[in-house]
Chain A
């Protein structure tokens, strides 16, 4: 079974802080890396699908980078807000299916 590792497991920041998380995945046979945000009592929602080495994607205050050669992706949140509180999941594409990491749970205090 492929391992997708995320760190840290959880994070608590103050409103306005910027933060970042790491996702590590196998660097061989790479096709795509997905990022999802999962808020309590809601369904996971897609943030980014990243396919090319060196990819950088941005959605509002959230951005992500991808390094397929060394097998990692970073997710950055600039100026965290309480509504950013959620679990952030990365997932490695294996064939048709996604292999998920255990997630990083972010809590933002106002």
Chain B
């Protein structure tokens, strides 16, 4: 079974803190994605990566950066967390353009 894990299920941070969300997949997938999910807005793409050290902006990259140093790991970084980044963050991976496999999500609260 494909497994996508995320470092935390719940996280509480303060405004201005630097926040790291980590995602690891065990299926040697080339492509990895970070989404956020907000009520009434659905899943929105923040960033994705199609190879090690490669990244592409999604639809809402502002306030975020990413890192992909190893194929299996894709990190989302909030350089200076703000309250409007309180959300559910989901990581996904896939090979090519096939089915995406999602992690369990991280619910982040920024106070």
Contact = CB atoms under 8 A, between A and B. Distances in A.
B45 interface: yes
A98 B45 contact: yes
Interface of B: 4, 31, 33, 35, 40-45, 48, 50, 56, 58-59, 90, 97-105
Contacts of B103: 43
A89 B43 contact: yes
A96 interface: yes
Interface stretch (A11-19, A56-64, A66-74, A99-107): A99-107
- The 8 nearest A-B residue pairs measured at CB: A102-B42, A46-B99, A43-B102, A100-B43, A44-B102, A100-B42, A97-B48, A43-B104
A100 B35 CA distance: 10
Given A46-B100, A49-B98, A98-B100, 16 more contacts: A1-B59, A32-B97, A34-B99, A43-B102, A44-B43, A44-B102, A46-B101, A89-B42, A93-B97, A96-B50, A96-B97, A99-B45, A100-B35, A100-B42, A100-B44, A102-B42
B21 to A, nearest CB: 15
Contacts of B40: 102
A34 B100 contact: yes
Contact of A97 (B42, B58, B90, B98): B58
A43 B48 contact: no
Nearest to A47: B99
B53 to A, nearest CB: 16
